[in-house]
Structure 1
């Protein structure tokens, strides 16, 4: 038995990217409603994390080159802890915005799955009488 459009569209939106199921159903405007905020949220998350981590990494690399930071292979836990604390402090200043971006990302993904399923279900129901007449 072939997979119904509703199930296939929901799986595309769940497993590939939000809105892909709607693209597959040829609902381009509706798909854009989910794709756009997802891309913006992903861009914000990635750029904020990069901009928070890059200076910490550059500073630690510079300190290691200048001999200020000595990497002791027998005590990598201390180096890891220091790196973790500095990155955490750097990211903490953006925590509220990161939480909003994560919320938008999750909401867009879930709503895309639900929308894909119901649009697919509607198309399945519209096509059902055609199959019975054959």
Structure 2
């Protein structure tokens, strides 16, 4: 498997920036890893806090253990889509897509450079 495919798969399936890290571009990888990690931590913290509140209500008996009731409560409270959670999700998506494109282009450029170096050595 060539380096561009490996870099693309790493950035797409493992974590944004993993492909850049694989290609030896550590600082460039951090441009994708750090914002994605911050956004993911915030996003999942909010989800866990929301789920914890719902579990507390179910255990106290103020909310039935019916998934439909729980979904309705979440929808009424609007806790699943706060503006900051939307921003966090957008940051994660943008970093993922940009990381895929960048990893592909970076690997292709490195492959072309290696190919040009081989051709130079042959002449």
Per the normalisation by structure 2, the TM-score is 0.86
> Aligned Cα RMSD in Å?
2.1
Q: Distance in 1 between matches of 2:16 and 2:90?
A: 14
Unaligned runs of 5+ in 2: none
Structure number, greater radius of gyration:
1
Q: In the alignment, what sits opposite 2:6?
A: 8
Q: Distance in 2 between matches of 1:40 and 1:60?
A: 30
Q: Secondary structure at the match of 2:118?
A: helix
Q: In the alignment, what sits opposite 1:35?
A: 33
Question: Are 1:106 and 2:104 an aligned pair?
Answer: no
Cα-to-partner distance string for 1:38-85 (whole Å, 9 max, x where unaligned)? 11111111101111121121121122xxxx6676xxxxxxx2221112
Structure 1 segments of 4+ aligned residues over 6 angstroms from their partners:
68-71
Specify which structure has the bigger relative contact order, considering alpha-carbon pairs within 8 angstroms and separated by 6 or more residues: 1
1:52 and 1:90 in contact (8 A); partners too: no
Deviation at 1:10, TM superposition (A): 1.3
Q: In the alignment, what sits opposite 2:71?
A: 84
Unaligned runs of 5+ in 1: 72-78
